[in-house]
Amino acid sequence: MPDPAQPRRLTAVASALTLLMAALSSLAPMTSVAAEEPPPLVVPDLPRDAPAPAKLATTVLVPEIPAREQALEEPSEAPSEETAEETTKKTTEKAREAGSESAVVRPAPPPPAGDATGHTDGEDAIGAAPAPQDSSDSPEADATSDLVDEGPRVALTPPEPLEPPPLKPLEIMLDWYPGPQHAALFIALHRGMLERRGLQVTLTTPADPTLPTRLLAAGRIDLAVSRQPLLHLQVDRGLPLVRIGTLVELPLAGLLLRDDGDLASPAQLAGRRIGYSVEESRELLLPLLLKPHGIAIEELELVDVNFSAVNEMVDQGLDGVMTPQRLGLPRRLGDEGLSTHLLRLEEHGIPRHEGLILVANRDRVGGQRERLRRLLEALAEATAWSLEHPEAAWALLAEREPAMDTPANRDAWLPMLLRLSARPAALDRGGYARFEAFLHERGLTETLTPVGRLGVDLGAP
């Protein structure tokens, strides 16, 4: 039986001989190459009964191309204007079937006007690159743009500014008309020291000097400006009041006597007409001043002058007046032509005490503690600034409170400034205890009140 592989071996041998002859001919001289002809290639005849050469089976493997790459790599014929919409739909369906939701295959733009092959006049029909087309405004782009998954967007505008927290309101009623003794309150208010601490403070003036603490005890106001002797008296009478801060740490009360009379000592006051303007003057200070001299308060002719001490002294012929305004009143009387001299209470046996304090309702201090602490911080800052800049401080007071700018107040400014409390929150526990004991021993208070019920130190840890 003939060998099936024999024809293939013969073919291979013939090919090898042909290559060998070609190599030998290249080594010969050039003249011989042109003269000599290579021997013809003789292919042996195969027997008739030899089997046909075997056929090789060939398989072409084509790699799968994703839909997006296939759309980019395989050129497609430009659809005509009549079939552009159909092509778009088919292409979109293929993209969806390929599972690529974010990839969008856009149809090729229609060819420009020209011949049937899509080439314009003057263009090379072979290898001409199509000009880029802007398809953003085409209907096909609108139809397929919905498939694009838009990413997150970034806001380029600045955020809305945060609103500051609302201010905490505080209503404070003064004890008197505005004056240098209230400087810490007005400086803190007009320099924004209160607002920076989140406080909206309202300062009011009473129609009667006896009103502030009574309104405070009734819960009608938040704070009242008062005086230490009055606090002892009213707490002993059961009013729910407590000192929370000090504005003026030295006495402001005193007895003014006329120079045109013969009065020079408290021992000469029996039978005289003496005016008073505040409650503690009648109930505490005058009795304390008279007691060492054996004079009872009933032996004096007392006149309630309220806010009209100047008029009463000048027009009504008073012999003297017990006043809480001992720094400013002498100048005001002098401007009216009346000369006076001052009896200082601390020089006549009455213990030193605080001239001006801030008083709160004891039952409400717990809920106001934080805002009261901020208030006292602002007052300390205002006093420190005033001590460093006395002229600027007075200029600010005169500008913002024109009614305060009087000759008497200008004269009293520097002496008053030295009496302002640099630490308004601090409580002088020893001083309050001594003054309370002094009053109780002389029978002016019924109960010996502990300091803890008279005052608190909100600045203490």
pLDDT in tens, 307-343: 899 999 998 889 999 999 999 999 999 999 999 999 9
**Is 202 part of a structural domain of the chain?**
yes
What is the pLDDT, as a whole number, of residue 13? 64
SS3 annotation, the chain: CCCCCHHHHHHHHHHHHHHHHHHHHHHCCHHHHHHCCCCCCCCCCCCCCCCCCCCCCCCCCCCCCCHHHHHHHCCCCCCCCCCHHHHHHHHHHHHHHCCCCCCCCCCCCCCCCCCCCCCCCCCCCCCCCCCCCCCCCCHHHHHHHHHCCCCCCCCCCCCCCCCCCCCEEEEEECCCCCCHHHHHHHHHHHCCCCHHHCEEEEEECCCCCCHHHHHHHCCCCCEEEECHHHHHHHHHCCCCEEEEEEEECCCCCEEEEECCCCCCCHHHCCCCEEEECCHHHHHHHHHHHHHHHCCCHHHCEEEECCCCHHHHHHHCCCCEEEECCCCCHHHHHHHCCCCEEEEEHHHCCCCCCCCEEEEEEHHHHHHHHHHHHHHHHHHHHHHHHHHHCHHHHHHHHHHHCHHHCCHHHHHHHHHHHCCECCCCCCCCHHHHHHHHHHHHHCCCCCCCCCHHHHECCCCCC
Residue 189 and residue 333 in one domain: no
Prediction pTM value: 0.66
Residue 286 and residue 404 in one domain: no
Domain boundary, last residue among 347, 368, 394:
347
Low-confidence ranges of the chain (pLDDT < 50): 30-35, 56, 69-82, 99-132, 135-136, 139, 141, 143-144, 147
Residue 192 and residue 341 in one domain: no
Q: Looking at residue 387, which CATH number applies to its domain?
A: 3.40.190.10
**Is 422 part of a structural domain of the chain?**
yes
What is the pLDDT, as a whole number, of residue 17? 72
Structural domain of residue 270, as residue ranges? 254-347
Residue 267 and residue 378 in one domain: no
**Is 268 part of a structural domain of the chain?**
yes
What is the pLDDT, as a whole number, of residue 354? 98
What is the pLDDT, as a whole number, of residue 27? 55
**Is 159 part of a structural domain of the chain?**
no
